[in-house]
Amino acid sequence: MPKTSSLEFPPIIPEEMMKENKSICIALCVLIKNHDESVRIVVEETVKVVERIVPYLIVRSEKAFQDQVANCLFKICHYDEYSREILGRFLIDFGNVNHPNYNTTLHFEIQKYNKLLELIDEKRYDY
C-alpha cells in the first residue's frame, strides 16, 4: 500500500494501484479485527499505517469494504493516540480533495462513522 508521499495527488490512489492493493487492505483489516495483538504490532512496527489505510475509506461504492476500513481505523486509533493525530492531520491536509472516480471526499465519507469521528479531537483538528 502506498505511502502518502508517493502519491501524486493524495489521498487519490490511482485506480490500478487501488485494485492491486485492495486485497492487502482487506487482509490487514481482517487481521486487526480478529487479533488484538496485531493492533499493537501494526502500530509499533508500521510507520503511519493509518495513512496507508485511510484513502480506501473513499470507496463508497463498496459499503462492506468501506465499513471494514472504518472499523480498522477505529480500532487502530482507539489503541494509539499518535495514530489519531495522524488521522486528524491527514483529514486537515487531504479531507476536502474530491476523488474523481468516486465523486466524494474523505470528510464526507468519514461523517458516516460517528465512533471514529469521536476519537478525533474536533477542537484540535478544526476542519
Burial pattern 79-112, b for ≥16 Cβ within 10 A else e, equals ebeebbbbbbbbbeebbebebeebeebbebbbee
Query: What is the model's pLDDT at position 107?
Result: 93
pLDDT of residue 127: 45
**Cα distance between residue 113 and residue 111, in whole Å:** 5
pLDDT along the chain (127 residues), means of 10: 87 90 91 85 78 93 95 93 91 93 94 91 52
Give the pLDDT of residue 47: 66
Cβ atoms of 10 and 86 within 8 Å: the answer is no
pLDDT score at 37? 84
Q: Is the pTM of this model over 0.85?
A: yes
As a whole number of angstroms, the longest Cα–Cα distance in the chain is 37
> What's the pLDDT at 123?
46
